[in-house]
Copies of this chain bind each other. A is one copy, B any other.
Amino acid sequence: MRIYFSGAIAGGRDDLAVYQHIVKRLQTTGIEVPSAHVADPAVLMHESEVSPREVYERDIRWVKESDAMIAEVSTPSLGVGYEVGHALRIGKPVLCLYRRGLFVSKMITGNPALTVAAYADSSELDAHLDAFVGSLVTCPHG
């Protein structure tokens, strides 16, 4: 299974440790994460070497080639918002995760096409991840 992970890059890197936790948990269960570089502390340096058009086309292709998307939306991000909308557009199941208590855009929390879940700690985060991945296995997309 392949899951695209979406997290803030230009928007801010305050949640890097959460991104790393999510990507590692997915990968250790055998899931391929094409966008694992989002959880790399050096992503800004690496991405600066790639043109905007190349990044755009690569990410759009990775979303298309994935079975689903998991987005961590605690840090406001233009790119994450765009990617969530794009994934829905092409029919991918999307899970949006955020730290309980944060004020998240109502375009996300009020969106009936999304699975949106809040977490207070890593065990709650893991439970949401496992439930979402489990739902994909039970009812494979496409």
**Which residues from chain A sit less than 8 Å from chain B, CB to CB?**
8-12, 47, 50-57, 59, 73, 75-86, 89, 103-112
Contacts and interface: CB of A to CB of B under 8 A. Distances in A.
B79 A82 contact: no
Contacts of A76: 8, 10-12, 75-78
Contacts of A106: 10, 47, 50, 52, 55-56, 79
A103 B81 CA distance: 16
B10 A78 contact: no
Given A59-B107, A79-B105, A81-B83, 14 more contacts: A10-B104, A10-B106, A11-B76, A50-B106, A56-B106, A73-B78, A76-B78, A77-B77, A78-B80, A78-B107, A79-B107, A81-B84, A82-B107, A83-B85
| Copies in the assembly, this chain | 2
20 contacts: A9-B105, A10-B103, A10-B105, A12-B76, A50-B106, A52-B109, A53-B112, A55-B106, A59-B107, A73-B78, A75-B76, A76-B78, A77-B77, A78-B78, A78-B81, A79-B108, A82-B105, A82-B107, A83-B85, A85-B89
